[in-house]
Amino acid sequence: MKSLKHLFIGLTIFSILFAQDLCPPTFVESYFYDQKIDLSWVQTSSYGDVLFEECFASCSTASEQMTVINDTSLCGACSGGWFRYSDGTAADCGEGMYPCDDGGDDDFSAYAGYSGTDSTTGQYAPVDSRLTGSVDLTGYTAAYIEFIEAYTYPTDATANNYLEVSVDGGMSWDSVYVSFPDSVGEDYWFNTVDISEYAGSEIMFAFRYYCVLGYGESWFIDDIKVYGGNEGEGDICGEFFHWNIYMDGVQIGTSDYTDFSVEDLENDVEYCFEVTAVYGEGESTPSAEVCATPLGPFQVGPAAINFDALAAGEYQEQILNIENFDTLDADFSISSIELANIEAAQNLVLSTFEDGTLGDFTNVPDLNEEWSVGDSATHSSTYLPFPSPPDGSQNFALYNDDAAGDDPFNPATPMLYSNPAFSGSAPSFLVFDLYFPNPDGPCENEATYADDFKVLISIDDGESWTLIDSTMATGVWYWASYMYNLEPYVSEASSFRVGFQYDDCNGNWGYGVAIDRMAIKMGDSFTWLTVSPFSGNVSAFDGYNDSLGVKVGAYGVYDDFQMEDELLIESGENMIEIPVGVGVEVSVDDPGVTPLEFALRQNYPNPFNPETNIQFDLAENSHVSLSIFNLVGQRVATLVDQTMDAGVYNVKWRGLNDRGSSLPTGMYFYEMKTSEYHSVKKLVLVK
């Protein structure tokens, strides 16, 4: 996500002069997807002799490369402008532009920031700031200025910016180009401005950041060149025909545009590319090589999760990473019998907010701001559109910091706490839906639009609070579902409360937060697994939140606890199984735990209609249960529940429940249990 100090901004076009006449393409970029790589590049040009060139190669010296002139007569305490932040402190540079040389890694630029409040007036300070250079055009009959520009927050702009030229040493300025922030937006724009009317003179030129009302956008300028040439020649690179594209040294195609798609590639294989420009006079030198590796659209790792055996009350956690290499955002859900059991468990505390009230929640008083209940239609604001909750409900609890505005004298820290929940002998779990975009990260990042959301717990009726989690973020703009095992916090308590707190970082303008379907659940004596988030969205590749860390937690319900389950991760047509083992080793090749060669085999056929076969192996005489569960953890059919001799068995199932009625099309789990073995797999019934 962009921040004011370090900005990473998208697509650009760039121009650079090479000694030879046949100007090559440069800065090839690759974007990899599922069996596909997209290429884009920039075509260089030449308008004569380069008389001035600045690409801000070093961030620490960027502000020294050209002269900054700020008009301080406009305000009592000025801020903003070139190389200056909105609080008046010095800024080093912008980032995210292309390097000075093809294949390089510097990406700095000049940076102009909007103003903050003028302490002498209490209003935003106007800004009039020029970034200037000079060049001698005597002896030339044509002249051109090239540069790249881009913005952040262009919709906040209250005026346009300018490229100006002066022939009297800066006493007066002529505008030769108007930069419209709304038009340029957050893309890179390449500009070539003909200033031939000033050829034959010594000139100053200036990039003028101008904002009468003060608060506005940030402007970035990079790769400035001033050419002196001959009238009527224009671009002297040659008679251009097309571009040639090479993969691993072999030409694979041509293009009339500055982009090219390579499809039907093999995933997990690296491919390297170069691009040349073809002129009537010949072929240019190639661009710097760029390599990329296409990946399947929905990647999950690791392929298996293993925990050590747990002592009673011990909790361990590992991270499961989900990455989306597709071109579209991807919804996902994670399910298993254990997770379904938690969702179906008894509610100790519940708030759905559908009745327009906070239900089992209460606002903490005297915090100046409060959570409210509303729907997406009435509570969305300029920069925070609240989407409807994923379950189709209307109302939810929310705090909208965008609507509240920016008030450093009234920081927002609204907090909700629940009615007491009574801690029993079985583990307690917190489950809720969350909408928290958080594109600038937590308060500790000190970004301009940072905000925090915290999940808290209290075992002394709200006198003190312990942090459960503050690392969640749901992406822009999606809901996600979270689940937490509360037992490590409440095992010695008779009752407890949970709390949700939002923080806009001492009055910074932030986005906001919403929660829905909050429940404190009572598990059973064998409930041990949690996954958070267990549903949500992973953004398209190269977007915010395109990589997501899922917390997988295992809890010891008794000493030397050992167990196994299998997480089913679904996203569209993608279905990935991740075995989870506690005290036993599981792997992607052998997801079932098979002590003493017990085994549960994958059913066949799968999907099936009208019947399927389920095979299991017994290493010794055992009491065996083989059952079918639906996605919410309800047992719908019992196929085996008896003592059986060691051997290999095959059971047929025709998709009927225990009453002999046909079950609907859908996904189901089948579970095998003995005193020494436990395994769960999925099957799909179709009709």
Compare 292 and 68 and report the one with higher pLDDT. 68
- Give pLDDT, residue 60: 93
The answer to whether residues 224 and 6 touch, using CB atoms and an 8 Å cutoff, is no
- Give pLDDT, residue 632: 67
Question: What top-level class would CATH report for the domain 347-523?
Answer: mainly beta
- Torsion sign (Cα): 33, 36, 37, 39: negative
- Give pLDDT, residue 206: 98
Compare 541 and 32 and report the one with higher pLDDT. 32
Token digits for 206? 């200036």
Per-residue pLDDT band at 441 (split at 50, 70, 90) = confident
Compare 12 and 171 and report the one with higher pLDDT. 171
Mean residue pLDDT of the chain comes to 88
Per-residue pLDDT band at 542 (split at 50, 70, 90) = low
Which region among 176-190, 517-531, 591-605 has the lowest average model confidence (pLDDT)? 591-605
Would you tell me how many other CB atoms lie within 10 Å of the CB of residue 456? 21
- Give pLDDT, residue 638: 93
- Give pLDDT, residue 574: 81
- Give pLDDT, residue 255: 97
- Give pLDDT, residue 591: 38
> Which ranges of 440-570 does DSSP label H, i.e. alpha helix?
487-490
Fold of 594-687: Immunoglobulin-like (2.60.40)
Per-residue pLDDT band at 90 (split at 50, 70, 90) = very high
- Give pLDDT, residue 445: 77
Token digits for 268? 């997990």
The DSSP element (H or E) to which 589 belongs, if any, is none
Q: What residue type is assigned to position 418 of the chain?
A: S
Q: Per-residue pLDDT averaged across 4-28, rounded?
A: 51
Q: What residue type is assigned to position 123 of the chain?
A: Q
For residue 559, pLDDT beyond 80 = yes
For residue 85, pLDDT beyond 70 = yes
- Give pLDDT, residue 9: 30
pLDDT in tens, 329-359: 889 999 998 898 898 889 999 999 999 999 9
Angle at 34 between CA 31 and CA 35, to 5 degrees: 90
Q: Per-residue pLDDT averaged across 636-645, rounded?
A: 90
What does the alpha-carbon distance between residue 539 and residue 658 come to, in Å, rounded to a whole number? 42
Compare 669 and 352 and report the one with higher pLDDT. 352
- Give pLDDT, residue 21: 67
Q: What percent of the chain has pLDDT over 90?
A: 56
For residue 175, pLDDT beyond 90 = yes
Helix (H/G/I), strand (E/B), else coil: 221: strand
Q: Per-residue pLDDT averaged across 193-202, rounded?
A: 97
b vs e for 361-382, b when ≥16 Cβ sit within 10 Å of the residue's Cβ? bbbbeeeebebbbbbbeebbee
Fold of 47-229: Jelly Rolls (2.60.120)
The answer to whether residues 578 and 570 touch, using CB atoms and an 8 Å cutoff, is no
**Distance of CA 348 to CAs 352, 421, 480, Å?**
13, 6, 22
Closest by CA position to 140, among listed 89, 56, 202, 189: 202
Closest by CA position to 189, among listed 156, 163, 228, 216: 163
> Which ranges of 263-416 does DSSP label H, i.e. alpha helix?
337-343, 376-379, 401-404
- Rounded to 5 degrees, φ, ψ at 528 are -135, -15
Q: What is the CATH number of domain 302-345+524-586?
A: 2.60.40.10
What does the alpha-carbon distance between residue 40 and residue 31 come to, in Å, rounded to a whole number? 9
The answer to whether residues 341 and 583 touch, using CB atoms and an 8 Å cutoff, is no
Closest by CA position to 570, among listed 332, 395, 362: 332
- Give pLDDT, residue 15: 34
